[in-house]
Amino acid sequence: MERKVSRICLASEPDIIHFLQVAWEKTLGSGFVITLTDGQSAWTGTVSESEISQEADDMALEKEKYVDELRKALISGGGPADAYKFDFSRESCNFSFEKNLKDVSFRLGSFNLEKVASPALVIRKLICDCLDTITENQAKNEHLQKENERLLRDWNDVQGRFEKCVSAKEAVETDLYKRFILVLNEKKAKIRSLHKLLNEVQEPEKNIEHERETTTCSEMTADRDAIYDESTDEESENLPDPSVLAPGKRNTFITFVEYLTRAYYSKGRRLTAVPPRRPQKRGFNRGRWVRGEEKGKWQFKLKYLSLTQSLRSKSMKLLF
């Protein structure tokens, strides 16, 4: 059985301190035993479950809420000191209590008590119950104190491990950062060296290509100047050397023209007095027809040669 002792002041006797004990088996709602004493006299009574239900119905409250109000008033002592008002009538042995709400108060319940014939036994038992309660509370406090100390040690241990983990993490991060910087610098240096090596390799190639282009341009200019002064007469043996002309197509065309000219005159044919019309389209050979030293012969002075397949076909038409 659980017991709870509290100190109260009655409204009818405010100068006298009374002690109220409530004992119950399972729950407060299943019924309880109430004992009231002023140190000299004692009164006791039993409140059944049906009486609790009747009081709850009279107040239009649910039983659970009413039991909660009883616990606050008789056991917990919750709220301010003047939140509840107790009163006891020695003549009728009626014990009642009310709850104060600002300017309004309402009755929570009233119970009839009986006077005890030997109050000394009740008071002695009340004191023993108080001592037992104190002993139990001290044991609980010691257990809670030990539990708090254990939790504190565990917390300190966890905190120390956490600090070590943080330190190790920072050390690992610092080491990884240093390694990353070293690797990054090595990669940068390697990239710079590769760029430098690539530039060194590409520079001679650029110079060689530039020299090759310059040489080709100069050879083409020299060939054009040499070809301009040459003659296409069939008796002229001073034809330009095919190895001097840079492009292979130009050499082929000159050889082809020479062959056609010789074949033409070998058949006893002669060119007319009117020189053939030279092509005027872009991309063909440009030059001029002039009288040769011998009568009736024409020579074509080439300015430069742009040898294409279309030019070959045009030359065929001019000669035949």
Q: Where are the domains of the chain?
A: 2-117
- Across the range 152-170, mean pLDDT stands at 94
Q: How far is CA 102 from the centre of its chain?
A: 57
Q: Does the pLDDT of residue 265 top 90, yes or no?
A: no
Instruction: Give the count of alpha carbons within 13 A of 279, CB side only.
Output: 20
Q: Which pLDDT does position 211 carry in this prediction?
A: 74
Residue 234 pLDDT grade (very low, low, confident, very high; cuts 50, 70, 90):
very low
Map residue 266 onto helix, strand or coil: helix
Q: Region 205-213: what's the mean pLDDT?
A: 73
Task: Give the pair of three-digit tokens for residue 218.
Answer: 């100069």
Question: The tokens 């027809």 sit on which residue?
Answer: 289
Q: What is the mean pLDDT of residues 305-314?
A: 49
Whether the pLDDT of residue 308 is over 50: the answer is: no
Measured N-to-C along each axis, helices 248-266 and 309-319 cross at an angle, to the nearest 10 degrees, of 10
Compute the average pLDDT of residues 223-242. Answer: 48
| Residue, of 40 and 1, whose pLDDT is higher | 40
Contacts of 179 (CB under 8 A, 6+ apart): none
* Cβ-contact 81, 95 below 8 angstroms: no
Q: In the prediction, which pLDDT does 246 show?
A: 44
As a whole number, mean pLDDT of residues 128-140 equals 90
Q: Identify the pLDDT of residue 304.
A: 42
Q: Give me the mean pLDDT over the 304-310 stretch.
A: 46
pLDDT band at 10 (very low <50, low <70, confident <90, very high): confident
Those residues whose C-beta lies under 8 Å from the C-beta of residue 234, and which sit 6 or more positions away, are 258, 261, 262, 264, 265
User: pLDDT confidence of 129, banded at 50, 70, 90?
Assistant: confident
Res. 203 pLDDT band, cuts 50 70 90: confident
Cβ–Cβ < 8 Å for 304, 286: yes
Mean pLDDT of 151-161: 95
Record: fold of 2-117:
Dna Repair Protein Xrcc4; Chain: A, domain 1 (2.170.210)
35-80 confidence digits (pLDDT tens) = 888 888 889 988 888 888 888 888 888 888 888 888 888 887 555 5
Q: Give the confidence band of 109 by pLDDT, cuts at 50, 70, 90.
A: confident
Indicate the residue type of 131. Answer: L
Distance of CA 226 to the CA centre of its chain: 76
Per mean pLDDT, which range of 35-39, 231-235, 312-316 is the poorest? 231-235
More confident residue, 277 or 90: 90
Segment (H or E) for 254 = helix 248-266
Q: Which residue has the higher pLDDT, 27 or 165?
A: 165
Token pair of 92, please?
């009728």
